[in-house]
Structures are given as C-alpha cells and as structure tokens.
A and B are shown apart, each in its own frame.
Chain A
Amino acid sequence: MKAGAVRALSLLAFLGLWEWYGRTASSFTVAPFSAVMADLASGIADGTLVRAALGTLLVAFVGYAIAIVVGIAVGAAIALWDWAEHTIEPLVHALYATPVSLTIPILGIYTGLGFGGRVTLTVFWCVFEIIVTTASGIRAVPRGLVDVGRAFGASRARLYRSIVLPAALPSIALGLRLGVGRALRGAVTAELLLSVVNLGAVMVRASSGFDVERLLSGIVLVVLMGLALTWVAERVEHRVVAHRA
C-alpha cells in the first residue's frame, strides 16, 4: 500500500509539474498535460490516432512473428549443431552488437520503403535477442534430464518435444517478452526514419506544423502501447513459466 501511495504521489507530482510548466508563457514547446489529454481523447474519438496506432501495431506484429520463427530456428540450430555454433553464432553476435539503425539509409534499396521495408527493420530490431535467449535456454537444459529420457527409450523427436523444449521454455519466453518491446521500437523507428507513415507520420506532421499537443499525445500513445504490450507479454510469460513449475 505504501508503495502504491508513493508511486501515485510521484506520478501526481510529475503530471502537476508538466501542467504547470506547460501553462507558463515561455514554454511553447510543452503543452499542458490537460491539453494533451484533450487532444488524445479527440484523436481517439475521430479515429486518427486509432488508425495510426493500428498501422504501427500491424508492422510490429508481422515483424515480431517473422522474428520468432527465424529467431527460434537459428537459436536452436546454434545450440544443437556445432557447425552453426562455430560459424553462425559469431556472426549473430557481431550483428547483435551492430546498431540496426545503420541499415536505414540503404534498406530501401533491397526491400523498398513500404510495408516490407518497415517489417524488415522491425525483424532486425528484435530477432537477435530471440536467437541469443533461445540458444542459451537450450544449452542450459540439464544433461541429466535428456539422459533419463534416453534411458527410457524416448525417440529423438520425443526428446526434443517433451524434454528439451519445456526445459528451455523460460529462457525462450524471456527472449519473446523482451522481443515484443523491441519490435514496437523497431516499428516506430521505421515509421520515423525509413518511411513516414502511421504514428510516425502523426508525429512528424505535428512537429513540422508545431502542433505540440498532437506531438505529445502521439508520444504518450507510444509509451502507453509499450507498457501495455510488455504487460501482456509478462502475463503470457508467467503462464508459460508457472505451467512448468
């Protein structure tokens, strides 16, 4: 209860400060909180912000889905097959350490600047996280469990399905949870820096037209979407891990 009280107080203080600063005459770059909320409500009511947010989410989800398939496949290959471990894993780590935004100026050459390009950037943004957590999860599967399974005569497929996968699941779930946030980040970045559409377009248009209220309501929306997606992913992760325990 005390924690909740402190949190609420801190949030109130922040919003109060925002409101006060927004109302002072010198702060033309910050609109008061109340004005931003009013704008957010009207943007949602007339559908502009909803359409934009759905467009952004579509890019994020398609990219995320592709990244899951590719990430788990590559991660499993790295953990299970020494050729992949020795040759692909160093490349994965090199790419993981490379800032993805470096690809933005030339990505359009290969994918076009449309939906495909934005999805590709989103995949790059989150796939390496999933590869690394999948590989380390499968590597950490206790040898003893596999040996017991083998001793009881389980087939190879059965070993993977009933022992390796469940034991590696918590780590994979962690990667998938972190991946959701990164996918959204990738999609928003693509819409601002690759081709300006959806929420990116809302914010760029607002900032060039000096519509500070709309700009800030776009940012608030992005923050809320990030919090909501992570919350959902945490619920799912809890399910997965609890089911195992």
Chain B
Amino acid sequence: MTSKDLAETGAVTAVEAAVPASAARPVGRGLRNPWVQRAIVWGALLLAWEVAARRAGAFFLPTVGSVLRGYAAIVADGGVWLLAGSLRQMLAGFALAALVGVPLGLAIGTFRSVEWALGIYVRALLVTSLTALLPFLILFFGTGFRFRMSVVFLFAIVYIVTSTAAGVHAVDRGLSEMASAYGASTLRRFAFVTVPGSLPFVISGLRLGLGQAVQGMIVAELWVTLDTGRRLVALGLARELGEFFALASLVALAGALLTHLLLVAQRRLTPWQPEVRASVGGHE
C-alpha cells in the first residue's frame, strides 16, 4: 500500500466530515427558510408514500400508520431485545477490530518496512468484497458467535487500519522535527506527537469502521439466518412490511447513534482538531 492509498481513506474521511459546511449561512425567510422547504418536500414525500401505500396495498408497501404500529409490535414481541443482542455481539467484534486495528495502523504508518510487508493485505481487503469470504469463514468457524465476530472484525478493521495509518502520515512534520530537536526520544515522540496527532484520524477510522461493522452484522446474520437478520427475513417473507420497515429503521438508527457517540468523543478528545485539519490542509 502506498501513502496515496492511505490518503484516499483520509480524503473520504475529510469528505464525510466537511459536509455540514452550510451551517454558518444566515437563515432565510419564507420559502428561503430551509425548514419551510423541508416541511414542504418531506411532507409531500410522506403524503406520496401514504397515497402509494394505500393504492398498492399492505402486501407491497406499508402505510405510515402501519410502520408506527410496527414499532409497538417490535417492543411487544421482543424484537428490541433481539436487536440488542445482535448489537452486543457486533460491538464485541468491533472492539476486537479496534484493539488490533489501531496499533496495526500506527505501526503501518510509522514504520515503512511494516507498510511494505502488510500494506498489500490491507489493500486487498479494502478492494475486495468481504461478503465473498462468508462461505469460507463459515467452514472455518462454524455458524456460532465466532463466525459473526470474525465477519464484523473483517468489515471494521480495514477502515480502522487505513485511517489510522493515514493519520500518522498527516502528523505535522515540523512538530516531529521540533520534538527531536529538543531531544525527545523516539518513544516520547511517538507518545506525545504521533499518537495525539493522529487521534482525529483514528476516531474517524473507528466511525467508518463502526458503520461497516453494522453492515457486517446484518450480512452475517442474513447469511446464517439468526437473530435480527432472521427476524428481518421472516418479516419480509410474511409481508409484515410495517414491522419490517420499523425494525430496519431501528437497526439504522442504532448504528447512527453509536457512530454519533464516537463523533461526540472526537470533539471531546481532540478539541484542537480543526486546527490540525487546517494546518494539514495548509501544507498541501
């Protein structure tokens, strides 16, 4: 893997992070007010959905009301606990990916020989369809906890490693040189310059990895039809579409919530991050 590939994930992270740029704009009045526009367009979409659902029938599209009743049904029939169990397993796999991925990314970013030796595998995983590994992993691990954990692990670790390594590359050269000029040992420099400097990228990588981990969880559970995945398949087959949409949106919401927690952690842990980003950008 070349540093260009590492920069690629950095670029994605930057793209992802740079999106809410319009927040500073003054709020317009009337039709220029974003919330008025949203009320009109989203209201129209919701209305179109409802009309389409009533025309197509419950067999094809659930009405808004039946999705709302679906949420109640999920709470009543224990779907919530099913989802919580799936998420707990997912988090176990994700934690393992973070424990392995962050040190590995730091090593790949710091030592060029490690990058030469291991970069090819990270790159191969980055461009490969990990779903293709499912039939193999199942032969290797069986259908139990270890299977699902390994799928989540593989889905998550790729992004954690690449983003962390990109973070090490993005650490300000001048800071590193100043630290050595003041006589800091390699270890000290690593602990006080490299690690904090790459922290924003580490957390970005964790966020991307967590999103992928949820994807991996669903794919693995659909493959072996267990827990939440099994419930989703059953709801789809029974055409209980209201409850299906409710459960699917809960999975997505849970994923978004967990990812958001990492964003909060990012702001807390690296309050200097905008400066880092600006200075990194300034060198380009």
CB nearest neighbor in A for B41:
A87
Q: Give bound CA distance, A139 to B25, whole Å.
A: 14
- Contact check, B38 vs A86: say whether CB atoms are below 8 A apart: yes
- Chain A: number of interface residues, binned into ranges: 35 or more
Which of the 9-residue segments A42-50, A103-111, A146-154, A158-166 touches chain B?
A: A103-111
- Contact check, B218 vs A82: say whether CB atoms are below 8 A apart: no
Q: Which residues of B contact A (CB under 8 A)?
A: 8, 11-12, 15-16, 18-19, 21-22, 32, 34, 37-38, 40-42, 60, 112-113, 116-121, 123-124, 126-136, 138-140, 211, 214-215, 218-219, 222-223, 232-233, 235-237, 239, 241, 244, 248, 251-252, 255-256, 259
Q: Give bound CA distance, A67 to B217, whole Å.
A: 25
- Contact check, A222 vs B132: say whether CB atoms are below 8 A apart: yes
Q: 19 more A-B contacts (CB under 8 A) besides A9-B117, A185-B129?
A: A6-B116, A14-B121, A30-B140, A87-B41, A90-B38, A97-B259, A99-B251, A102-B218, A102-B251, A104-B222, A105-B222, A174-B15, A181-B127, A187-B129, A188-B132, A189-B219, A192-B135, A204-B135, A207-B139
Candidates A94, A188, A210; contact of B129 at CB < 8 Å: A188
- Residues of B contacting A230 with CB < 8 Å? 127
- Contact check, B244 vs A223: say whether CB atoms are below 8 A apart: no
Is A76 on the interface with B (CB-CB < 8 A)?
no
**Shortest distance in angstroms between B275's beta carbon and chain A's nearest beta carbon?**
20
Candidates B18, B34, B252, B256; contact of A136 at CB < 8 Å: B18
Is A227 on the interface with B (CB-CB < 8 A)?
yes
**Shortest distance in angstroms between A89's beta carbon and chain B's nearest beta carbon?**
8
**Shortest distance in angstroms between A56's beta carbon and chain B's nearest beta carbon?**
9
- Contact check, A83 vs B129: say whether CB atoms are below 8 A apart: no
- Contact check, B15 vs A192: say whether CB atoms are below 8 A apart: no
Given A10-B116, A188-B129, is A215 in contact with B15 using a C-beta cutoff of 8 Å?
A: no
Is A22 on the interface with B (CB-CB < 8 A)?
no
CB nearest neighbor in B for A99:
B215
- Residues of B contacting A89 with CB < 8 Å? 19
Given A6-B113, A86-B34, A99-B214, is A226 in contact with B120 using a C-beta cutoff of 8 Å?
A: no
Q: Give bound CA distance, A206 to B222, whole Å.
A: 19
- Contact check, A99 vs B244: say whether CB atoms are below 8 A apart: no
Per-position 1/0 for A167-211, Cβ under 8 A of B: 000010010001001001101110011000001000110110010
- Residues of A contacting B40 with CB < 8 Å? 87
